[in-house]
Amino acid sequence: MYIKKYIQILSIFSALFFTTACSNDAPGEDTGNSQNRTVKAQPSAFTVEGAASSLPGEDEINDMQACLFENGILTEVYTQFSKEGTQYVFPVNKQEGHLYMLANISDRINLQDLKAQGITEEEWLETTITATGETMSSVDFFSGMVDLGKSSENTIQMNMVRGTARFDLSIQTNESVEVKKLTLKNMAQRSFLFSKDPTAIPNEANLKDVSIEFTQPLGASTPGIAYAYEQTGTDLTAIVDILKNGKEMTVETSLPSILKRNTVYALNLSVDPATGEAKIDIIEWENGGDHILAPEAQSLKVDTEESVLPGNVTVNAEKTLVTLPYTATDMTLAIDCDNELELIPGDMPITIESLGGTSPETTGKNVFRIQKEKWRPGVAGQEVKLRFHRKGLNQNYEEDCLTLVLSENPVKLEGLIQFNEGYEFDFERYIDNELGIITLPESKKLTVEYESGEGKWIKLEERTETPNSFRIIGGWKPNDPTANGRKQKATLVICNTDGTDKEEYTVVRRNWGLPVTYLNGVWWCKYNAMGDSKNFSDQILSSNDPAAKAGKTLFDYLRDCTPEEFFKLWKWQYQGKTTQGLEVIDDGGVAKMKGYGPSSEHINKLDATAMAPDGYELPSMENFERVLNSTSGTIWLMWDGSHTTAWNGGTNIQRRQRRRNDITVGTVALSDLIYIQMYNNAEQQYEPLVWYGPGAQWNDDGIKHNHYNAMLWATYSPSNGQGWFYNGTMAGLYPTKNGAGPNDTRLLRFKKSDVEYIYE
């Protein structure tokens, strides 16, 4: 989050439009010297841990100007520059003199006016810039100087240093902590254009307390929360108002006695794990300039003689970097340092505790116990900085740290399965087909284990293109009586080929399933969708199939069930892209779909899975044609019979129909409700596919009494919205292709989406 908008008082200037121009003739060219020289100026970026850390807009340059002092007098002004990458380039035909460059302050400093006034170099170096009190702009000012006489090279490099320091917020705790306000005490409101050596501030620096109150409290680490001029002082303080677990409190810390320009200072907010007290420290990041930021004491090193390290833990020759294996590790790390060290808390994937003084052997020593869990497949290796504070010093220093390298697991894991936390991955939904790809070293093997009674729902398929690499495939079991939404687990077991060094990783999904039957190459759902069509809990599940529980086919169950049971299954239709179904109700003596209204969305043009629960989808036009498109004459659904389809070289479909006349809704008698079964004698191991459901409603008049059987099936047909329709009246006794409109309600009958692996 980039929040310079919060800064009040620290503003320096407003952004100006900046254009660069190329010119072969430099202003003020010295015709007496024929040697052409080129200056290339590079604005410096903020850096953290040696890497560029600029925020959006911080490195933006809106204007650039340069001037040359010869023998202490301003003689030349340069305003034309070209760009090469991030460098600003211009020619200078001078061998001597001090060349100064400024960026982003042409509205505050006019070099041509200063030249006309005859400003001396001594006066120039005392020039200051003052905060305006407005909100800080999206850019900052930069300045730089190079002595032309110190180099005879034709190309001269110049480093332009940013004029301010930046404060970042670093929240290093898992507790609920939010920052409401930051106050920086005794901040200079005036600064020199060019840094003094040693660092100094103008006599009239106009010191003020600067308060920044955040509109939304900051609950996470946030860079760039404040900016300040370079300055010195022993009473510089940062005060932070926080909410810790909902309780207001204030913490504060002394700032470094020298705040350097172009430097990042991290306000490190943490909670002491022993006392629970919030505290704040400040870390000063190296700015890549001329200043040495390290403490006078030497950097920290590992005391290898006092440390207790497992054989698979290594320390580099400089004793500043410790490499841990991917396996679980428990070690004691001793640090060679004359000062007593305190660990600066941070969010780290290891646990670390101080052992100093816990026993006679550790008294007066910097000894820490470090524990790490086994690193999981697919999780990248990581470097962890252990940062320490020396008791007795006000500041923390970047160099007071050691690096831990957490080696990655040699087993590679790609795809949907990700063991980012822990050793169990739960999809928290139904899923099948490819779950991931796992690749093992040659010395490892992979198996799958299941709890007692669990089906073998995961298949390992070896990849021929990569040795010892496997696709992890989730399977599906048709009409699984246990598919009630329960957690279904499988354990991936990795070990050496001799069975040693066993690692276990558990994969979990929700085992949901809808009752299906198979007809002409399609696993059709037995029942129409009900309630929320994407919610398994609203559907008839394979674990609670009323027809199967009664020992009957659905065709016979619809004949024998009560009117209430029939109506419960029959009454649902859908409209537009709303997954909540519409129910048939009595509206003033007319059967209507409750909640019917205009719709701009056409169900048939939606994605095939848009209305379906995971693992299922709308059938396509071709799927319906396998059973409803005859090559042997008209399909008279009002009567029993048979017809031939073109699918698979020709298949014979048998049809049987029945009616019910005992169904009512309110005062409306729903007479002559038809339900029709279809089957292929060549597939007698599967029960027939049964069509049923209310006729479509296409306007506010409701379902006309002679259209109760006018079934309009939702069909996946994204190009033109085409679908299938059965009129159900004497005017239309056969199914036809009919896309209808977006306002029309439709029956949802899903099919099982394609699945690679079917298990028993």
Q: SS3 for 287-311, per residue? A: CCCCCCCCCCCCCCEECCCCCECCC
Beta-ladder partners of 66? 78, 101
At residue 19, the pLDDT reads: 34
At residue 274, the pLDDT reads: 65
Inside any domain, residue 149: yes
- 234 & 96 share domain: no
Inside any domain, residue 758: no
Higher pLDDT, 634 or 590: 590
- 547 & 662 share domain: yes
Closest CA to 373 of 329, 411, 413: 329
At residue 506, the pLDDT reads: 98
At residue 519, the pLDDT reads: 97
Higher pLDDT, 728 or 14: 728
d(CA 289, CA 278): 33
Inside any domain, residue 295: no
- 483 & 520 share domain: no
**272-281, 374-383, 431-440: which is most confident:** 431-440
- pLDDT (average), residues 694-706: 89
d(CA 648, CA 645): 9
Q: Work out the pLDDT band at 292, boundaries 50, 70, 90.
A: very low
At 540-551, the pLDDT tens digits run: 999 999 999 999
Q: In this model, does residue 162 exceed pLDDT 70? A: yes
Q: Work out the pLDDT band at 396, boundaries 50, 70, 90.
A: confident
- 708 & 584 share domain: yes
**Helices in 501-562 by DSSP H: which ranges?**
546-549, 554-560
In our burial notation (b when 16+ CB lie closer than 10 A, e otherwise), range 105-132 reads bbebbebeebbeeebebeebeebebbbb
Which of 402, 422, 450 delimits the end of a domain?
Answer: 402
Higher pLDDT, 756 or 345: 756
- 392 & 490 share domain: no
At residue 10, the pLDDT reads: 36
Q: Average pLDDT, whole number, for the chain?
A: 89
Nearest 5°: phi and psi at 563? -55, -35
Which of 130, 162, 194 delimits the end of a domain?
Answer: 162
Which of 402, 426, 441 delimits the end of a domain?
Answer: 402
ω into 198 cis (within 30 of 0): yes
Inside any domain, residue 489: yes
Q: In this model, does residue 4 exceed pLDDT 90? A: no
Inside any domain, residue 740: yes
d(CA 724, CA 712): 6
- pLDDT (average), residues 726-754: 85
- 325 & 355 share domain: yes
Return the CATH number at 43. Answer: 2.60.40.2580
DSSP state of 122: H
- 631 & 741 share domain: yes
- pLDDT (average), residues 60-71: 94
Inside any domain, residue 4: no
At residue 684, the pLDDT reads: 87
How much of the chain, in percent, has pLDDT values that exceed 70? Answer: 92
At residue 297, the pLDDT reads: 41
Task: Evaluate whether 487 touches 511 at the Cβ level (below 8 Å).
Answer: yes
Q: Work out the pLDDT band at 633, boundaries 50, 70, 90.
A: confident
At residue 357, the pLDDT reads: 74
Centre a 10 Å sphere on the Cβ of residue 173 and count the other Cβ atoms it contains.
16
At residue 391, the pLDDT reads: 81
At residue 2, the pLDDT reads: 34
Task: Please classify residue 135 by burial: count the beta carbons closer than 10 Å to its beta carbon, then call 0-12 exposed, 13-18 middle and 19+ buried.
Answer: middle
At residue 632, the pLDDT reads: 85
What string of H, E and C letters represents the secondary structure of 425-475?
EECCCCCCEEEEEEECCCCEEEEEECCCCCCCCEEEEECCCCCCEEEEEEC
Closest CA to 229 of 213, 253, 206: 206
At residue 339, the pLDDT reads: 87
Give the total number of structural domains in the chain.
Answer: 5
- pLDDT (average), residues 12-28: 32
Return the CATH number at 418. Answer: 2.60.40
Q: In this model, does residue 31 exceed pLDDT 50? A: no
d(CA 264, CA 259): 10
Q: How many residues does the chain have?
A: 760
- 707 & 561 share domain: yes
- 243 & 177 share domain: yes
Q: Work out the pLDDT band at 287, boundaries 50, 70, 90.
A: low
At residue 669, the pLDDT reads: 95
Inside any domain, residue 175: yes
Nearest 5°: phi and psi at 114? -65, -35
Q: How far is CA 537 from CA 40, 151, 429, 568, 578, in A?
A: 69, 80, 12, 15, 17
Task: Evaluate whether 230 touches 199 at the Cβ level (below 8 Å).
Answer: yes
Closest CA to 269 of 284, 283, 255, 279: 279
Task: For residue 747, give both structure tokens.
Answer: 């029956």
Domain ranges, residue 87: 37-162
At residue 730, the pLDDT reads: 52
Inside any domain, residue 174: yes
d(CA 637, CA 631): 15
- 709 & 737 share domain: yes
- pLDDT (average), residues 365-392: 91
Q: Work out the pLDDT band at 14, boundaries 50, 70, 90.
A: very low
- 113 & 46 share domain: yes
Task: For residue 566, give both structure tokens.
Answer: 């029939």
Decide the pairing of beta strands 724-726 and 711-713.
antiparallel
- 141 & 171 share domain: no
Q: In this model, does residue 23 exceed pLDDT 70? A: no
First to last CA, the chain: 52
